[in-house]
Structure 1
Amino acid sequence: MSSSEQQTLAPVPSVWTRPRRRKEQPALSQEQIVAAAVRLLDAEGIEALSMRKLGAEMGTAATSLYRHVANKDELIELVVDEVYGELELPAADGPGEKWREALAQCGHSLRAMVLRHPWVASVLGQVGLAHLGPNLIRMSERLLGLSVSAGFPAGEADLAVKAVISYVIGATTSEASYLSLLARSGKSEKEWLESLLPAAEAALEDHPVVKDHAYSRHVQDPARLRDENFDYGLQRVLDGLAVRLGRD
């Protein structure tokens, strides 16, 4: 077999395809490393993550981490799957209108997870074989079950789930980026928006429709407004799925 053929047959590098070690070092475990990495990411963001810094945070050398995690890419796969384990996923109870409420709950739970861990939004397209992680598999199993119980045929159930997830991730990625910027400002959301008001008024002076709309929203609670904005879009996606099923 040629070297090019060997490269073709080589497995995709991923923590989920690498053989597990039979014995863990007693003083350190993969679970401890992942938990520490999540804490570091939550506190300082994806830019701060390195094996050396993580080792220092844990009071050990980076070489100790490599006994449990091959590299930073594997670590990112692990932390992404870890936070997906926080999702609240209702069970499929059979056909009926409960499918919509259950999918909405899943959507809100996914949004809440991303906003708790804003760094997730920046790595979702860089996590290799993330779909092989146990928590992501559990999410896929539950969401597909809900979609099938709603009445979607097997070939379409996956597409219905992807439509919901695509909306949630798209909307929440922008929101997470906004909240990260807000956190760096050191201001509350209301203070941040108040500080931008003069510039916004000047920019919208010649755009009365947008200006009136922006002002009407400015006087509302910004966190509640973000909740309402997200739910509005999610409900419209679910409206489309309901129509597809032939329901009101």
Structure 2
Amino acid sequence: MAGRRRWSTEEILETAAELLRTGDAESFSVRKLAAVLGTDSSSLYRHFRNKTELLRAVADRILVAAMDGYRPEGDWKQRITATALRLREAFGQHPQLASVWGRYGSGGTGSRLVMEEVLQALWASGLPDEEIPARYHRIVVLLASLIASEGGFDTLTPGEYEQGVEQFRVAVLGADPDRFPALAHFAREVRPLGDDRRVAFDEILAAHLAQIEAAIP
């Protein structure tokens, strides 16, 4: 009798990514992945020790894809901005995986590519060497948080999004002006959290880089 097919690491990761695109990291399991592949969980554990390691590898594939073909151009701020927008675009195509990166991080080739470029850009900025690691860390935390937040919105169904917007309107427009005077005053101008995300992303990143620039001797 023919044995079960042996799946390559790349095939496992591709199938896991597709499974995550139709679900989420919380409901994802190695057992479900094995069932889709028509094999047993033990065969997958030969490639990955646990679910977390597998999820990190899937997220790393997105980082690799984001940096594919990248060539550094411009000054240090332009390089970091270009890298950030590549990550945003890549995870925008796989929103379910954005939270995986934000939660689990990655330690593979994609992670090293991103780390190298951000560190190289900061190195070229003129910052003292001793400040660069902390600045790098803050940039990555900022990007992971913004991208994971966007991914959360992008995974909402149209019905869920409309329900959230309606609840926002009720909460804001119906605010008691005696208890929430500022909210009542700005009620018609305040917008739901998911609005203008691209503008917010650009402005927050630019403000952070300007703060770093101000610290350069």
TM-score (structure 2 length as normaliser): 0.80
* Structure 1 residue 80 corresponds to structure 2 residue 52: no
Taking a change above 3 Å as real, the CA distance of residues 204 and 242 of structure 1, as seen in their structure-2 partners, is: farther
Q: CA deviation at 1:192?
A: 4.2
Alignment of 1:197-216 (within 5 A): 197-203=169-175, 205-206=177-178, 207-216=180-189
Shift of the 162–91 alpha-carbon distance from structure 1 to 2, 3 Å rule, reads farther
User: 1:226: Cα distance to partner?
Assistant: 1.2
Closer/same/farther in 2, CA of residues 106 and 84 from structure 1, 3 Å limit: same
Choose which of 161, 186, 190 in structure 1 pairs with 2:136: 161
Matched, 1:109 2:86: yes
In 2, Cα distance between the equivalents of 1:39 and 1:229?
29
Equivalent residues of 1:148, 1:157 under 8 A apart: yes
Which residue does 1:42 correspond to in 2? 21
Q: In the TM superposition, what is the alpha-carbon distance from 1:36 to its structure 2 partner? A: 0.8
What's the CA shift for 1:153?
A: 3.1
Deviations along 1:151-191, one digit per CA (max 9) or x if unpaired, are 223332222222221222233333433444x33xx427467
Q: Which amino acid aligns with 2:139?
A: V
How far residue 126 of structure 1 moved from its aligned partner, in angstroms, is: 4.0
Contact 2:59/2:97 (CA < 8 Å) preserved in 1?
A: no
1:118 has 2:96 as partner:
yes
Which residue of structure 1 lines up, in the alignment, with residue 198 of structure 2?
A: 227
Q: Distance in 2 between matches of 1:170 and 1:47?
A: 18
For 1:87, what is the secondary structure of its paired residue?
helix
Distance 1:171 1:214 in 2: 25
Q: Conserved in 2, the CA contact under 8 Å of 1:147 and 1:158?
A: no
Percent of aligned pairs with the same amino acid: 23
- Partner SS for 1:232: helix
Q: Which deviates further from its counterpart, 35-44 or 115-124? A: 115-124
CA distance in 1, matches of 2:35, 2:14: 14
**Which of the numbers 109, 115, 134 marks the counterpart of 1:134?**
109
Q: Partners in 1 of 2:134 and 2:209 — Cα distance? A: 13
- Cα deviation 1:56-102 (Å, max 9, x = unaligned): 22233323323333332321221121122132485445xxx721122
Match of 1:31 among 4, 7, 10: 10
SS in 2 for 1:112: helix
Name the CA shift for 1:150/1:26 in 2 (closer, same or farther; >3 Å): farther
Aligned to 1:4: none
Query: Is the 1:107–1:164 contact (alpha carbons within 8 Å) kept by the matching residues of 2?
Result: no
What displacement does 1:140 show?
A: 0.9
> Aligned-pair RMSD on alpha carbons?
3.0
Match of 2:211 in 1: 240
Quote the Cα distance in structure 2 between the aligned partners of 1:46 and 1:205.
Answer: 41
> Using the alignment, how far apart are the partners of 2:185 and 2:199 within structure 1?
19
Structure 2: stretches of 5+ with no match in the other structure: none
Matched, 1:173 2:148: yes
* CA distance in structure 1 between the partners assigned to 2:31 and 2:10 by the alignment: 18
TM-score (normalised: structure 1): 0.71
Amino acid in structure 2 at the alignment position of 1:201 = L
